[in-house]
């Protein structure tokens, strides 16, 4: 059946045809679900290192078939790329022709042959032998339009990957970027570690955890919301440069920038502070942009390809005081107003707040809505209220803490601290938190600090948001392979 004819058939009819071919393959003595196949190259490797007259073996999914009568051109590939194959129909034995006629787009095929260039200069393999590796019983998405429905794209990522080269490229970039991040830190003397995902006290952030229960120990546990307190225990133990690429879990809302499970990088360096760590993060992100995007000017486009904005990552990045940015957005007199008048100003500015919010949370809401969401080029926001960050070292005067919040693309990408290492102050700060969102007090962690933690700088980087920014993706679901979605039943 031709691809044109297939587009006018129902899925059930197409599946029925493919099952007929499945039966035919078995009648011909062919295992439709194959076995190991030795290759000399991946399709992408062969294309990248192509030379004529090479004897090769490659394997991949058939993504296109053009039957020209006496010959057939087809493409085999995977998420990394593809290569064209050519078969002369007249050179096939009757048995091999019968097998070949059972193939469809979506099937996995191994091919052997010699490389050549077509008259149009297309790198190709003249196939002398082919092996069926797996028969696809369901049709691939439409060749030209791929998966257009966004919900199907996220629910059935395999369909998106096999039909959308741009989407596949994002996830290949993500994988390689994680490897590059590891290399970046290894080259600077950091040791990679793993800390517990199951914790009895969720610490390191103000977030609602997922709760579970360990039957053998008879105790409730939570999935971690952050690895921070365990990584700081390692500083106490003698690790002076440590990092973890970790999965965190927060039982909170879902939005275009939030998924209940997400990937974070956290790193800690003894004898450093938040400014040293800011330089490190700036260096890392610029390195990743140049390596994977080829530029520090990151274009974000709409679905029609029109440029919506260009994010300028050229160094040095802006650094600005938290209170000054808020005052610029909410009025120069904002911090001289009473708490009640500040709430009235929020209403005038269109910033939604709740009655339960403490004054510092009201100010933070103004920051998030009027500063953060409207800032696209990089900005390190410094000297944040001490009430917002209980784990950071106090600035002189005690009203702010030595931190930065890195904003890019209208959202926080990375926080960084001069870490609080005074156990008495840490106890007092955790025990006297106020507001809707507070952190649990982990007294075992405070006892650990009493053994002495060196002064240190620490950072977190939201990997999903970082990749959103570098890939120009509009939502976190475009950079997470399997985002959490509500069941349809």
Beta bridge mates, 37: none
Question: Alpha-carbon distance 338 to 344, whole Å?
Answer: 10
pLDDT at 2: 47
pLDDT tens sequence across 160-205: 999 999 999 999 999 999 999 999 999 999 999 999 999 999 998 8
Instruction: Give percent of the chain above pLDDT 90.
Output: 84
- Average of pLDDT values for 5-17? 78
pLDDT band at 111 (very low <50, low <70, confident <90, very high): very high
Token pair recorded at residue 431: 């025990």
Question: Alpha-carbon distance 294 to 23, whole Å?
Answer: 49
The residue among 184, 220, 173, 183 whose CA lies nearest residue 201 is 220
Sheet of 219-223, strand order:
198-199, 219-223, 211-214
Beta-carbon contacts of 311 under 8 Å, excluding residues fewer than 6 positions away, are 297, 298, 299, 300, 376, 377, 378, 408, 409, 469
Alpha helices in 293-419 (DSSP H): 322-330, 339-349, 359-366
Query: Are 177 and 292 spatial neighbours (Cβ–Cβ below 8 Å)?
Result: yes
Beta bridge mates, 381: 320, 405
Considering only CA atoms, give the Rg of the chain.
28
Top-confidence residue, 107 or 386 = 107
pLDDT band at 3 (very low <50, low <70, confident <90, very high): very low
Please provide the average confidence, as pLDDT, over all residues in the chain.
94
Does residue 5 surpass a pLDDT of 70?
no
pLDDT tens sequence across 335-362: 999 999 999 999 999 999 998 899 989 9
Token pair recorded at residue 92: 């096939």
Query: Are 102 and 38 spatial neighbours (Cβ–Cβ below 8 Å)?
Result: no
Tokens 């959103």 identify what position?
468
pLDDT band at 146 (very low <50, low <70, confident <90, very high): low
pLDDT at 58: 98
- Average of pLDDT values for 131-148? 84
Query: Are 120 and 105 spatial neighbours (Cβ–Cβ below 8 Å)?
Result: no
Beta bridge mates, 310: 299
Burial of 396 (0-12, 13-18, 19+ CB in 10 A): exposed
Beta-carbon contacts of 467 under 8 Å, excluding residues fewer than 6 positions away, are 170, 173, 174, 177, 473, 479
Does residue 212 surpass a pLDDT of 50?
yes
pLDDT band at 11 (very low <50, low <70, confident <90, very high): confident
Token pair recorded at residue 482: 């399997």
pLDDT tens sequence across 293-324: 999 999 999 988 899 999 999 999 999 999 99
pLDDT band at 144 (very low <50, low <70, confident <90, very high): low
pLDDT at 1: 42
pLDDT at 389: 86
Question: Alpha-carbon distance 84 to 465, whole Å?
Answer: 36
Beta bridge mates, 267: 243, 459
Please count the other Cβ atoms lying within 10 Å of the Cβ belonging to residue 289: 20
pLDDT tens sequence across 35-93: 999 999 999 999 999 999 999 999 999 999 998 888 999 999 999 999 999 999 999 99
The residue among 66, 70, 154, 131 whose CA lies nearest residue 105 is 66
Does residue 4 surpass a pLDDT of 50?
no
Quote the DSSP letter at residue 258: B
Query: Are 124 and 118 spatial neighbours (Cβ–Cβ below 8 Å)?
Result: yes
Quote the DSSP letter at residue 309: E
pTM over 0.85: yes
Please count the other Cβ atoms lying within 10 Å of the Cβ belonging to residue 171: 19
pLDDT tens sequence across 388-432: 888 899 998 878 999 999 999 999 999 999 999 999 999 998 888
């Amino acid at each position: 059946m031709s691809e044109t004819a297939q587009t006018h058939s129902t899925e059930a009819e197409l599946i029925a045809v493919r099952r007929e071919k499945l039966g035919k393959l078995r009648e011909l003595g062919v295992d439709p679900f194959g076995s190991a196949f030795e290759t000399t190259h991946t399709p992408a490797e062969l294309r990248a290192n192509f030379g004529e007259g090479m004897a090769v073996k490659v394997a991949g999914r058939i993504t296109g078939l053009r039957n020209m009568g006496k010959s057939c051109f087809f493409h085999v590939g995977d998420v990394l790329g593809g290569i064209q194959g050519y078969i002369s129909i007249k050179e096939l034995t009757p048995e091999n022709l019968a097998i070949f006629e059972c193939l469809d787009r979506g099937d996995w095929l191994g091919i052997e042959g010699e490389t050549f260039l077509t008259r149009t200069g297309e790198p190709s393999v003249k196939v002398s032998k082919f092996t069926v590796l797996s028969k696809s019983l369901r049709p691939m998405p439409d060749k030209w339009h791929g998966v257009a429905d966004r919900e199907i794209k996220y629910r059935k990522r395999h369909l998106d990957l096999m039909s959308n080269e741009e989407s596949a490229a994002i996830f290949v970039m993500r994988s390689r970027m994680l490897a590059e991040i590891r290399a970046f830190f290894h080259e600077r003397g950091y040791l990679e570690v793993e800390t517990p995902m199951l914790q009895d006290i969720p610490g390191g952030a103000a977030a609602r955890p997922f709760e579970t229960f360990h039957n053998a120990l008879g105790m409730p546990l939570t999935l971690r919301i952050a690895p921070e307190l365990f990584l700081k225990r390692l500083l106490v133990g003698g690790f002076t440069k440590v990092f973890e690429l970790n999965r965190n879990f927060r039982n909170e809302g879902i939005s275009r920038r939030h998924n209940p499970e997400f990937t974070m990088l956290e790193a800690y360096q003894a004898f450093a502070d938040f400014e040293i760590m800011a330089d490190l993060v700036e260096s890392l992100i610029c390195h990743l942009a140049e390596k994977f995007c080829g530029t520090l000017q990151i274009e974000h486009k709409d679905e029609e390809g029109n440029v919506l904005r260009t994010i300028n990552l050229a160094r040095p990045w802006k650094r600005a005081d938290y209170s000054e940015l808020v005052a610029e957005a909410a009025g120069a007199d904002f911090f001289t107003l009473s708490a009640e008048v500040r709430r009235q100003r929020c209403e005038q500015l269109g910033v939604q707040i709740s009655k339960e919010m403490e004054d510092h949370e009201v100010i933070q809401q103004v920051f998030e809505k009027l500063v953060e969401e409207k800032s696209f080029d990089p900005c390190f926001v410094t000297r944040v209220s001490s009430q917002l960050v209980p784990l950071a070292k106090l600035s002189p005067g005690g009203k702010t803490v030595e931190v930065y919040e890195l904003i890019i693309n209208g959202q926080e990408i990375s926080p960084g601290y001069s870490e609080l290492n005074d156990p008495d102050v840490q106890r007092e700060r955790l025990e006297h938190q106020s507001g809707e969102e507070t952190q649990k007090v982990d007294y075992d962690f405070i006892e650990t600090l009493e053994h002495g933690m060196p002064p240190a700088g620490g950072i977190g980087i939201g990997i999903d948001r970082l990749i959103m920014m570098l890939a120009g993706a509009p939502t976190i679901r475009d950079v997470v392979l399997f985002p959490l979605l509500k069941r349809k039943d």
